[in-house]
Chain A
Amino acid sequence: AQSVTQLGSHVSVSEGALVLLRCNYSSSVPPYLFWYVQYPNQGLQLLLKYTSAATLVKGINGFEAEFKKSETSFHLTKPSAHMSDAAEYFCAVMGVRGNTPLVFGKGTRLSVIA
């Protein structure tokens, strides 16, 4: 069964600093991987997804993630944090068998300090 582990339940960065949110996956087959963002009192919104094309995936709001098979990782990065990036971020995996639900990590809360 597929699963993801997000390292760090809370990450705090200064405005303008690099954002790095870690996600490692476990899958017996090459997975599809997703990052979602949740702002307070809202549902989850897709940031980006990896579907076995380019290993470096660019998403919305300046975020990107790189699929590294050798490290079973899919870390999320943004070069310069903005106050509006403060939110909860979820990594998710789905097996390529298809049409199965996403399995989510526990989430990482990102705080941005002015």
Chain B
Amino acid sequence: DAGVIQSPRHEVTEMGQEVTLRCKPISGHNSLFWYRQTMMRGLELLIYFNNNVPIDDSGMPEDRFSAKMPNASFSTLKIQPSEPRDSAVYFCASRVRGATDTQYFGPGTRLTVL
């Protein structure tokens, strides 16, 4: 199994530009999570989906952030417009539905907004 796949691995953009981060969860996993990691705030949950349905997006910082999961094998996190304070590493994770199942993380996308 290829694990959770994220693209791109690195993204450098200028303030005001639209950024789209992509995630392919592990096949058969039906829960997907987006996290953001920064030195100041650590790992923050942004949003999560169960069976492609957004369950809790209370961690999304503001309206500039949006996430979709059109099918079981693909999700996007979009920032429009981007700002320098959005610079962080964004992780996608997936899990089989169930409390004791392991949550598997992707390698992350390092976003730099100039």
Residue A56 lies at the interface, judged by CB distance under 8 Å to chain B: no
Does the CB pair A99–B97 fall under 8 Å? Answer: yes
**Which residues in B have some Cβ–Cβ distance to A below 8 Å?**
4, 31, 33, 42-43, 45, 48, 50, 56, 91, 93, 97-100, 102-108
Does the CB pair B99–A96 fall under 8 Å? Answer: yes
**Closest residue on chain A to residue B44 by CB atoms:** A104
Q: Give bound CA distance, A51 to B93, whole Å.
A: 20
**Which residues in A have some Cβ–Cβ distance to B below 8 Å?**
32, 34, 36, 41-46, 49, 51, 90, 94-107
Contacts A32-B99, A43-B91, A101-B45 aside, 12 further interface pairs with beta carbons under 8 A come to: A32-B100, A42-B108, A43-B105, A43-B108, A44-B91, A44-B93, A51-B100, A95-B99, A98-B98, A99-B50, A99-B98, A101-B48
Listed by A's residue number, 9 A-B pairs whose Cβ atoms lie within 8 Å are: A32-B99, A43-B91, A43-B93, A43-B105, A44-B93, A44-B105, A46-B103, A99-B99, A101-B56
Q: How far is the CB of B1 from chain A (nearest CB, A)?
A: 14
Q: Give bound CA distance, A97 to B98, whole Å.
A: 10
Q: Give bound CA distance, A45 to B91, whole Å.
A: 12
Does the CB pair B99–A97 fall under 8 Å? Answer: yes
Chain B residues closer than 8 Å to A98, beta-carbon distance = 98-99
Chain B residues closer than 8 Å to A101, beta-carbon distance = 33, 45, 48, 56, 103
Q: Which 8 A-B pairs have the closest CB atoms?
A: A43-B105, A98-B99, A51-B100, A44-B105, A104-B43, A106-B42, A43-B107, A46-B102
